[in-house]
Chain A
């Protein structure tokens, strides 16, 4: 089991470009969570998805950010028209269900220049 896979590990974008972050959960996990960690700060929840559904997006900025978890393929966190303040580490986690812990990926470090 390869664990939660995130790619790319590092992403550099110029202001105004789009960033696409991918997350493949562990095999058999149907719950995916995205978190953001700004430099020297804690992890903040962004969005919780199950296959083809957004369950909770209360932590997601209302503009420029979107997430999906299609029936086939990885979950995608999309940031349009990036700004310097979007520079952060973005982590996703997957979850098998009650009785288990959450498994996090190694993250994507986004740098906006």
Chain B
């Protein structure tokens, strides 16, 4: 899997939107962009994934740059329960390979 770069930590206020950036300048045409999060003492949780177009689901939105070298996970209204480590991961299509986790971004949400 290609490498991604994320800030180590970010802070947000409760009920405000959060934009979590991810750089992946070496992404290939067959790499999907996956986002997972890990709450304290829990297993990772799938958030969203996409290839080229922006994606929305009940948890978040994923905005993918036109050149695909960066993406942003958007939480529209942060809650205290969103405090977690967020991982941006590239996964090659149909490779059958594992996800390779980096350090992720630790999101802190202030009440």
A contacts, CB < 8 Å to B: 4, 31, 33, 35, 42-45, 48, 55-56, 59, 91, 93, 98, 101-107
Contacts and interface: CB of A to CB of B under 8 A. Distances in A.
Interface of B: 34, 36, 38, 42-49, 93-94, 96-104
Per DSSP, chain B at the interface is loop
B98 A33 contact: yes
A45 B46 contact: no
Nearest to B89: A102
Contacts of B43: 4, 91, 93, 104-107
Given A42-B103, A42-B104, A43-B101, A103 B94 contact: no
B97 A48 contact: yes
Contacts of A33: 98-99
B46 to A, nearest CB: 3
Instruction: Tell me which of B34, B46, B94, B103 has the highest count of chain A C-beta atoms within 10 A of its own C-beta.
Output: B46
Contacts of A98: 93-94
Contacts of B44: 43, 91, 93, 102, 104
10 contacts: A33-B98, A35-B101, A42-B104, A48-B98, A59-B98, A98-B94, A102-B44, A102-B46, A104-B46, A106-B43
